[in-house]
Amino acid sequence: MTGKAALRRELLAVRALLSSEDARETAAVLARRALDLPELAGARTVAAYVSVGREPGTRALLDALRVRGVRVLLPVLLADNDLDWAEYEGADRLVRAGRGLLEPDGTRLGVDAVLEAEVVLLPGLAVDGRGMRLGRGGGSYDRVLGRLTRAGAEPALTVLLYENEVVARVPEEPHDHPVRAVVTPGGVRRFDDRR
């Protein structure tokens, strides 16, 4: 088992112990903290995702951004694990898709729609002191981050996590990208502006 796989397994086991109530309460705190980010305050377009299971909750944040008039793009998983995008039009317009994910049922905008985002909220399992993010391992967001880099786009890459998921070191591979900030219930931690 690789270092990434072992760390993923450990962090997912801790998440599985969270109660539904703890997850809901944390989601509300994360939304408040994230909404205070200057990058989100000025953003016109944000690429995000719909949290599922015990992931740090995003739904309150998605709704708050929409109320602010922000265009929120959500991923649609393609057969090859790449991500298409569609606009978030409210919780009642989300449909259950493969792998238990929730996706918007609206018009598909294409894989390059993410290039319009000033902020990209990335799902993750951990981040370290360098801003290196550990994802789920499917490679979907590696493709997104590569697409952003090739296009010269520099959105504020941000991840929402639980406190224990800010770790000493995340195993790193050449294709990995650091994030600009991590939002936890305890606050926001920023990293330098490297991509």
Range list of H helices, the chain: 3-16, 20-35, 38-41, 59-67, 140-151
Binning pLDDT at 50, 70 and 90, where does residue 194 land? very low
Whole-angstrom CA distances from 69 to 1, 46, 65, 106 are 45, 11, 7, 18
Cite the annotated binding site by residue number.
Answer: 4-8, 50, 55, 133-141
- The predicted pLDDT at position 139 comes to 86
Residues 6+ apart with CB under 8 A from 12: 125
Encode burial over 101-114: b for 16+ CB neighbours within 10 A, e otherwise.
Answer: bebbeeeebebebb
Annotated binding residues for ATP, as ranges?
4-8, 133-141
Q: For residue range 87-146, what is the model confidence (pLDDT) as tens digits?
A: 999 999 999 987 788 999 999 999 999 999 999 999 999 999 999 999 887 889 999 999
Binding site per annotation, positions for substrate: 50, 55
Q: pLDDT value at position 61? A: 96
pTM over 0.75: yes
- CATH code of 3-190, in short, is 3.40.50.10420
- What residues does each domain of the chain span? 3-190
